[in-house]
Amino acid sequence: MTAFWHPFAAMHSVRDGAVTITRGEDVWVYDDRGRRFLDATASLWYSNVGHGRGEIVDAVANQMYELEAYSTFTDFTNAPAERLATEIAERVPVDDAKVFFTSGGGDSVETAAKLAREYFVAVGEPDRTVLLHREHSYHGTHGFGTSLAGIPGNRLGAPFTPDVVQTAWDDAAALEKTIVDVGPERVAAFFCEPVIGAGGVLPPPPGYVEAAADVCRRHGVLFVADEVICGFGRLGTWLGIDRFGVRPDIATFAKGITSGYQPLGGMIASGRVAAPFWDEPGRIFKHGQTYAGHPAACAAGSATIALMERDGLLDRALQLEPVLLAGLASLEDHPLVGHARGGVGVLGALAVDPERLAATPDLPVRIAKATREHGVLIRATATALVCSPPLTFTRDHVDLLVEGTRNSLDDVLKSL
């Protein structure tokens, strides 16, 4: 019997049947029974550089021997935080970028939401409090993140943060209508994942992101790019929004910045949005996490960036992108599969056949569990199977992913 309460888990079934992962090596992880699994999820979307990279481990260890942690509240700082903030600012498509560190993605969304509202207070538009998000969106599970959830099953724990409005995930004209209906003078920000991740891997329709950014610009609404999944290589760029030529007002990040070697996230604000808090004497953004700018976590971030550049992982991601989609598409002939999605970044999905899903609602979960028996780890959503492998995946690894998934689909089909 375990005392560990797992996130997003039905503990009644988990408590006596958990899979204990003991070690990792590049694209592989191993459990306490000696089984080897192809990690086609990069754990939870984040192990972009793969497991067991000694360069990052050494950077963290060396930093901890020197200074393991110290607060960065008020006027305290440390060299790793300063260095990583500069490295990020130099690489992202945000004008005059200012970097605010957090402990993870959910913290980063909270920070962005609070800053969006506080910014408009600072510039004399306090009525701009409404935050917009898209259908199928996932922005974490903190207070604002739960309110901004476009996945119905994640909207738990009401009442929610007020003045949050949902719009269509794929229609910039609908976004503009939402802004007009609410009143542009009341809308603070629009939250946008470049590719919707946890909501089922939904690449945007051609031109959507660019058009949505233009709508926000014309109505004075802040465009917030949620880069927690899409950032730091997942789409082959430092921020996923770079794929669409959009320069956001605010961006959030986590996961890939350290490839999971340390918990770290952050928010990047444009110079315009940061200006009231940087330039006006006495104005304070009264917000922060205990471990913001944690030296060891920031050392992991710098080491990750260096490793990605040394190994050319951004280019490698772009090369892997069509290979992964082609592999998934090769499974569309299976009776349990509806269609494959992907093609924008190293992430993809297999939608389960709708009729089969209606008859067997837990079908994605059953298939994902079956893949473990074939040595492959993928994730189940309510309607699909999703993957987001490390950027160190090869064509051979994609072939193994496809083979293991097909065998699992066959096993489940026989059991129906």
Whichever domain contains 386, its CATH number is 3.90.1150.10
DSSP of 29-74, one letter per residue? EEETT--EEEETTHHHHT-TT-B--HHHHHHHHHHHHH------ST
Provide the pLDDT for residue 79.
98
Asked if residue 165 and residue 92 are part of one domain, the reply reads yes
Structural domain contains residue 102: yes
Residues with Cβ within 8 Å of 344's Cβ and at least 6 positions away in sequence, in order, are 194, 195, 203, 204, 235, 243, 321
208/239 same-domain check: yes
Q: What is the pLDDT of residues 215-229, one digit of tens each?
A: 999 999 999 999 999
CA distances in angstroms from 85 to 135, 171, 272, 292, listed in the order given: 32, 34, 17, 12
At residue 15, does pLDDT exceed 80?
no
Same domain, 36 and 181: no
Please state the rounded mean pLDDT for residues 81-109: 98
Domain's final residue, options 259, 278, 310: 310
Range 67-96 average pLDDT = 98
Regarding whether 272 and 128 lie in a shared domain, the answer is yes
> 175-199: b or e for each residue (b if 16 or more CB lie within 10 Å)?
bbebbeeeeeeebbbbbbbbbbbbb
Pair 279, 142 in one domain: yes
Band of residue 404 on the pLDDT scale cut at 50, 70, 90 = very high
Share of residues in the chain with pLDDT > 90 (%): 95
Give the pLDDT confidence score for residue 199 in this predicted structure. 95
Which of 112, 149, 111, 117 has the alpha carbon at shortest distance from 130?
A: 117
Domain residues for 134?
54-310
| Per-residue confidence (pLDDT) for residue 42, from 0 to 100 | 98
pLDDT bucket at 156, cuts 50 / 70 / 90: confident
**Whether 105 and 177 share a structural domain:** yes
Among the ranges given (13-17, 197-201, 277-281), the one the predictor scored with the smallest mean pLDDT:
13-17
Do the domain assignments include residue 6? no
159 and 304, same structural domain? yes
Q: Is there a domain that residue 44 lies in?
A: yes
Dist. CA 101–CA 72, nearest whole Å: 10
387 phi/psi in degrees, rounded to 5: -140, 155
pLDDT digits (tens, 9 = 90+) for 19-47: 999 999 999 999 999 999 999 999 999 99
Residue-wise DSSP of 14-25: HTTS---EEEEE
User: Has residue 359 been placed in a domain?
Assistant: yes
269 plus 179 within the same structural domain: yes
Q: Is 244 domain-assigned?
A: yes
Whether residue 333 lies inside any domain: the answer is: yes
122 falls within a domain:
yes
What's the mean per-residue pLDDT of the chain?
97
Considering the domain architecture, whether residues 274 and 407 belong to the same structural domain is answered as: no
- Contact between 175 and 327 under an 8 Å Cβ cutoff? The reply is no
- b/e sequence 122-140, b meaning 16+ C-beta within 10 Å: beeeeebbbbbbbbbbbbb
- Looking at the fold, whether 254 and 342 belong to one and the same domain comes out as no
Q: In what order do the strands lie in the sheet with 187-192?
A: 98-102, 265-269, 250-253, 222-226, 187-192, 130-134, 164-167
- Residue ending a domain, choose from 274, 294, 310: 310
How many domains does the chain divide into?
A: 2
182 and 64 in a single domain? The answer is: yes
From 310, 336, 366, the end of a domain falls on: 310
Q: What's the pLDDT score for residue 357?
A: 97
CATH number at 207 reads: 3.40.640.10
pLDDT for residue 207: 98
pLDDT at res. 14: 86
Query: Does the residue 304 lie in any domain?
Result: yes
Each residue of 305-358: pLDDT tens digit? 999 999 999 999 999 999 999 999 999 999 999 999 999 999 999 999 999 999
pLDDT of 155 strictly over 90: no
Residue 1: band (very low, low, confident or very high) from pLDDT cuts 50, 70, 90 = low
Are residue 81 and residue 183 in the same domain, yes or no? Answer: yes
Does the pLDDT value for residue 49 go beyond 70?
yes
pLDDT at 166 over 90: yes
Q: What is the pLDDT of residue 19?
A: 93
Judged against a pLDDT cut of 90, whether residue 160 lies above it is answered with no
